[in-house]
Chains A and B, each alone.
Chain A
Amino acid sequence: MLKQYQSSLLSQILQSRQDFKASDHEQTGIAIYRNNYLASVKRSLANSFPAIKLLLQDNFDVAASHFTEKVLRTNADWAEIGEQFPHYLAQEAALRQLPYLSDLAVMEMALFSAERASDNISSLASLALLEHHAIDTLSPIFAPGFTIISSNYPLLEIRTHIINNDDEALNVLLTELTDKKDKVYHFAVYRIDLQSHSLLLPEELVAYYQQLLSHDTLDDGLSAIQTPTADLSDWLKHAIEHHILLGIATVS
């Protein structure tokens, strides 16, 4: 009985399923819970996706409402509700005229997550380990929240124009893109100190970042790069200069 009551109430609140037996008093109560839920979803999504919110304006709230009807909330942490928002945006027919929207949302979620990611403590002095240890016993320590996002769109420029409210520059950029549909951009998203950052990665260094991020040891990562397009020293210089690589550690 209790499970049944609770599932029924959750369905009415989270999925807007109507219980036609509900009294006026109950319907008012359920409407309050439903409105609270929608307000919390909108607030959380706006917090995680500031540029998407600016771009869509009033349509952002409409999208957030549709999102709540299509995606059930399976996590009690409001900060994580946005994880499925990029996928929802990609599927939403009404938003297909903005084909970069889903990728932009992936980047915004990565920026938001990087701000909350575990602190990675290391020092560049740890690079001295390279002198005394085999590279199959060493692993890179990257900046908190470090991830790589790949897209056919210049997301950093798009995001900057949206945040600066520069519609004209955004339109020019998007018009130019029609000839470059096959180009792939790779972006690093990570945190320096307390702020998240995003950076366009040089094409020749992408393989280093991708393989070293996805393998446990330096040896495995470097071995997975089939045709290096740059020297390891170039990658190391870039990673240190941009605070993406914090140090290295021995693998336990």
Chain B
Amino acid sequence: MIAEQLAANIIYGLLLGGVYGLATMGLSLIFGVLRVVNVGHGAFIMVGAFTAFWMFTLYSIPPLASIVVAVIVGLAMGFVVFMTIIRRLLDAPELSTLLATFGIGVFIEELSKFFWGPDYVGYSWDIGGISLPFTELPFTKLYAFGSSIVIAALLYVWFSRTKLGKAIRAVVEDKEGAMVCGINVNMVYALSFAIGIALTVTSGVLVTLFTPVGINVYMGGDYTLKAFVIAVLGGLGSPWGAFYAGFIFGLLENGSYTLLGLIPGVEPFGLTRFVSFTALLLILLLKPTGLLGGE
């Protein structure tokens, strides 16, 4: 009985972790390359969620296909935001970029509210699922998980095989050196920021595959918080670390539930967050740079 529930929760935790991972990669990438902390992270996730919602309700485009739309929307948004705001702040003190990205987040949320209203919306893409003896696994969640892995893998290949990807890594390692070698650092910055935002918007689509209801202009806040924890857990600035940390976070959140439930007199759900944050503290105590963090 307990074993069955534990198994179910671990599977769900893994699936959720995959989505968390992708939802954090963009944040880590932007920090790693530009040293900018994107406090408006959640707003871009929200844009992705609405992309999936509108594509589905207006044009009946399945959310999986919306990923392509989300990537384009994200690249465009990232590029515009970089050119208009972030570019001017690259050499400014950290607080300026923090405030600027916070402002961007609020701006996007309020603009979305103006156009889309404050209501909670959702969609129903019922495509069945797999019936396991101890739980049901909807295909939508499996797709979300699969897409997350595929996108992360594609990004990995792009980073390690292509010239542009290598240029980005060079800038991360040594900005001056990269400049000397003729790499257009500003272009690398623009590209990284755009890719980071595109990843984030895409993860918004995956979030709705996992939870197709409760889509709202202010939904991003919770994800921002989780993304920061995961990013730190994985070593800020390391997209791959963030991806792995996402799994750990998902597992801790869902997996610990069954075990906590064995303690009499506690509300296990409220405690799962406590457990995840305690794990974060412990990991930081043992390895202050995070799981895959360098220096």
Answer whether A and B are interacting partners: no
B residues lining the A interface (CB < 8 Å): none
A residues lining the B interface (CB < 8 Å): none
